[in-house]
Amino acid sequence: MTAEARSRPADAPAQRTPALPGDAGMWVFVLGDMVIFGVYFIVFMVYRGHEQAVFLASQRHLSLASGAVNTLVLLAGSRFAALAVAAARAGDDRRASRLIGWCGICGVAFLLVKAREWYSLVSAGRTVTRNNFYMFYYAFTGVHLFHVLMGLVVLGVMLAELRRPAGRRTWLIEAGAIYWHMVDLLWIILFALLYLMR
Amino acid sequence: MKGTVTSRITWTWALLSALTMVSWALAATRRFTPSTAVTIVVLAIAAVKTRTVIRQFMEVRVAPRWLRRATDAWLAVLMAAIIGLYLW
Amino acid sequence: MTAASPAVPAVSAGRGGRRLLDLWACWWVFPPFYTLFGIIFVPLTRVMPPPSPAKPTAQIVLFFHAHALTIQIGFSVLMLAIGAGSVLNGLVAYQMRRMTVDPVFAYTYIATLAVGAIPGCLFCAFSFLAATFRPDRDPHLIALCYDLGLLTFVGSLGCFATQYLIFAIAIFLDRNKIFPTWLAYISIWQVVTELVAIPVFIFTGGPFAWNGAISFWEGTALFGVYIACLIMCVRKAIERQQPGERVPG
């Protein structure tokens, strides 16, 4: 299935259907995950509508700086991932590996900032059962964190692929990068909903 | 060829980072009061950033039309729902 | 588990003389089993959608009194029917043995489902049956049965996380392409939904309770998608299977 998705011949001889970047399976996952998170976001907004004051009051205790720094960190990671794909396509495996490494460092930085943020919130007694806002905050940032962890595994798979001497699958590098961009964009929306909106 | 690809990536990243700083500053100035204006602006910025990541980084810009439409539809429905629920 | 030997003489049984009759017989367990499962858990025992964790004890007792007959019928039938689920698990594991990956994947798949079967639905069945067995039991004990049943039913999702992960990894590594890669990704969605079902042990209301929009509803909807895809993929795998293929036991 992935083979036909990767090298799509023209529908009609005269026009070319653009090829799907990456891998069709990864797009199934990414689009599905976006819908799953979409439902999360909408449920959040429904509950927020019932308790605006509580949500606003609780939001003030979030570290806006941590949220913003994490957003910038993931954006940097996405840039490294995109550059890695470009390098892999140009055949420059060493550069691609280095860039993937940098993306991984961004991922780890995100985890550390997030951990510190959770630690200071929990120490202040703002735990998951405190109120609905914190319930959503921990649940969503937790699921997102799981995605970042999976992302590190994906980077490892990409690195392993670049080490293969022959028959290297560029689509796998592309698919891994697409996954990272998804992690990035989900956080962009989470950042807006949890930290920014008033 | 590679030069234009990498510079496009870097410019995109710079734009996204700048937009992040703008949202951050905006939210920081309104920390303690509810504000419809700030919310609409930050959500709009988030929508622009998200679409940019999808189109530029994920390369949906050059992907088959069904994928362009699907991702745009997802974003449109989501943003409409969020803004709709916020305003009511 | 179905016979590994494919050398079954061709018998015409409405399938045009195709072999692999034993595999098809197993596959055809899917539709009636899941239909029965749905009938048992939805209209009969009322476990799906789950009644609220915020119900006061008096209402819980009323719930069991009102539905005692259908709960007893439904879960008694489940006792007999649950074995059919093992046939389906065996069928999937059999297909996993046709993959190029180590047999340990198939064995782990079966083992994790064996672990999950009790908390996954049997514990709930026994708890509810105990609650309806003596109608004049202490209300607090009846409420305990209610909690035990529903916490295990929704909260045990985590037991299956390993199964989904093993399944996904096996599909990714398999060079025979028994199942399509997108099925692996759908399996990974399941792992995500298991994660958001963990909070059911904490909340008595809201989206992360055992009847919550996220922990229950979204999770169940995705599970429905997964099962539908799994059934179709197993069917395709059997269709593509050559009758003379040697499959290790």
Q: pLDDT tens across C91-118, in order? A: 999 999 999 999 999 999 999 898 888 8
Show the beta-strand stretches assigned E in chain C.
Answer: none
Residues of A in contact with B85 (CB under 8 A): 42, 45-46, 48-49
Give per-residue pLDDT as tens, C143-154: 999 999 999 999
Q: Which of C181, C202, C214 sits opposite A40 (nearest CB)?
A: C214
Average pLDDT across chain A, whole number: 89
| Cβ contact A25–C208 (<8 Å) | no
Burial class (CB in 10 A: 0-12, 13-18, 19+), C246: exposed
Q: What is the pLDDT of residue A167?
A: 67
Percentage of chain A beyond pLDDT 90 is: 77
Q: What is the pLDDT of residue C14?
A: 37
Q: Which of C185, C193, C213 sits opposite A28 (nearest CB)?
A: C185
Longest distance between any two alpha carbons in chain B, whole Å: 50
Q: What is the pLDDT of residue A171?
A: 87
Three-state SS for A15?
Answer: strand
- The secondary structure of B26-52 as a DSSP string is HHHHTTTS--HHHHHHHHHHHHHHHHH
Q: What is the pLDDT of residue A118?
A: 96
| Residue C117, C-beta contacts closer than 8 angstroms, at least 6 positions apart | C82, C85
Give per-residue pLDDT as tens, A11-53: 444 445 677 888 888 999 999 999 999 999 999 999 999 999 9
Q: What is the pLDDT of residue C243?
A: 77
Residues of C in contact with A48 (CB under 8 A): none
Of all residues in chain B, the one with the smallest CA distance to A193 is B43
Rg (CA), chain B: 15
Give per-residue pLDDT as tens, C176-192: 889 999 999 999 999 98
Work out the number of other CB atoms within 10 angstroms of the CB of residue C217. 15
Least confident span in A70-74, B45-49, C39-43: C39-43
A1–chain C Cβ distance below 8 A for any pair: yes
Q: What is the pLDDT of residue C19?
A: 63
Least confident span in A60-74, A135-149, B66-80, C15-29: C15-29
Residues of A in contact with C195 (CB under 8 A): 142-143, 146
Q: Which of A28, A135, A143 sits opposite C192 (nearest CB)?
A: A143
Residues of the domain holding B11: 2-87
Burial track B23-44 (b if 16+ CB lie within 10 A, e otherwise): bbebbeeeeeeeeeebbebbbe
Residues of A in contact with B56 (CB under 8 A): 82
Of all residues in chain A, the one with the smallest CA distance to C165 is A150
Percentage of chain C beyond pLDDT 70 is: 92
Q: What is the pLDDT of residue C20?
A: 81
Chain A: closest CA distance from residue C218 (Å) = 8
Percentage of chain B beyond pLDDT 90 is: 80
**Do residues C9 and C17 make contact, with C-beta atoms less than 8 angstroms apart?**
no
Of all residues in chain A, the one with the smallest CA distance to C226 is A32
- Closest by alpha carbon to A48, among A142, A162, A136? A136
Number of A/C CB contacts below 8 angstroms equals: 63
C158–chain A Cβ distance below 8 A for any pair: no
Residues of A in contact with C222 (CB under 8 A): 36
Residue A2 predicted with pLDDT over 60: no
Residue with tokens 């293929």: C245
**Chains touching C by CB (3 or more pairs below 8 Å):** A
Q: What is the pLDDT of residue B2?
A: 62
Least confident span in A145-154, C5-14, C63-72, C157-166: C5-14
C124: left (phi over 0), alpha (psi -120 to 50) or beta: alpha
Q: What is the pLDDT of residue A5?
A: 42
Give per-residue pLDDT as tens, C3-34: 444 444 433 333 433 568 888 999 999 889 99
Report the number of distinct structural domains present in chain B.
Answer: 1
- The stretch C26-45 carries a mean pLDDT of 92
Which helix (DSSP H) or strand (DSSP E) does residue C98 occupy?
A: none
Candidates A79, A183, A184: best to mutate against B (most CBs of B within 10 A) is A79
Give per-residue pLDDT as tens, B28-48: 987 778 889 999 999 999 999
Please give the angle made by the CA atoms of A7, A13 and A16, to the nearest 5 degrees.
45
Domains in chain A with CATH codes: 34-196 (1.20.120.80)
Count how many Cα atoms sit within 13 Å of the Cα of residue C41 in the half-sphere of its side chain: 22
| Residue A59, C-beta contacts closer than 8 angstroms, at least 6 positions apart | A133, A194, A195
**Do residues C24 and C15 make contact, with C-beta atoms less than 8 angstroms apart?**
yes
Least confident span in A127-131, C16-20, C128-132, C222-226: C16-20
Residue A8 predicted with pLDDT over 60: no
| Cβ contact B45–A76 (<8 Å) | no
Task: Find residue A12's DSSP bridge partners.
Answer: A15
Q: Quote the ipTM score.
A: 0.93
Q: Which pLDDT band holds residue A170 (cuts at 50, 70, 90)?
A: confident
**Do residues A18 and B63 make contact, with C-beta atoms less than 8 angstroms apart?**
yes
Candidates A37, A71, A92: best to mutate against B (most CBs of B within 10 A) is A71
Q: What is the pLDDT of residue A139?
A: 94
Chain A: closest CA distance from residue C8 (Å) = 31
Q: Which of A32, A43, A139 sits opposite C199 (nearest CB)?
A: A139
Give per-residue pLDDT as tens, C69-82: 999 999 999 999 98
